[in-house]
Amino acid sequence: MKTVYVVCATGIATSTMLRLKVESFLEERGIEARVLQFRVTELSPERVEADVILATTEIPPEFEGLATVINGISLITGIGQGETLESLARALRDDS
């Protein structure tokens, strides 16, 4: 099963909101994936098991190549939200 990390600076409100939106979107699309939320400081390159990292904060460069990183700010603002969710769906399909 695919794994999506939703990441923000504090790991509380923003990542919770993202997690709920992503879970709802994936369910509507019939895409099976685990969705886990983190603070950016909780991530370690040695322990990343995600296929996609959806973040509202900058992800350190050492995570490049470990997972597809998608900017999730649009899921907070609503501007470009559809494009971000489609990018997520594509990334999960492409990694199959």
Q: Kindly tell me the number of DSSP H helices and DSSP E strands found in the chain.
A: 3, 4
> What's the pLDDT score for residue 64?
86
> What's the pLDDT score for residue 34?
97
Task: Indicate if the pLDDT at residue 95 is higher than 70.
Answer: no
Give the residue-averaged pLDDT of 66-78.
95
> What's the pLDDT score for residue 15?
85
Q: Convert the pLDDT of each residue in 27-53 to its tens digit.
A: 999 999 999 999 999 999 999 999 999
The domain locations on the chain are 2-94
Fold of 2-94: Rossmann fold (3.40.50)
Query: pTM of the entire structure?
Result: 0.92
Whether 42 contacts 89, CB under 8 Å: no
Q: What's the CA gap between 73 and 56, in Å, rounded?
A: 5
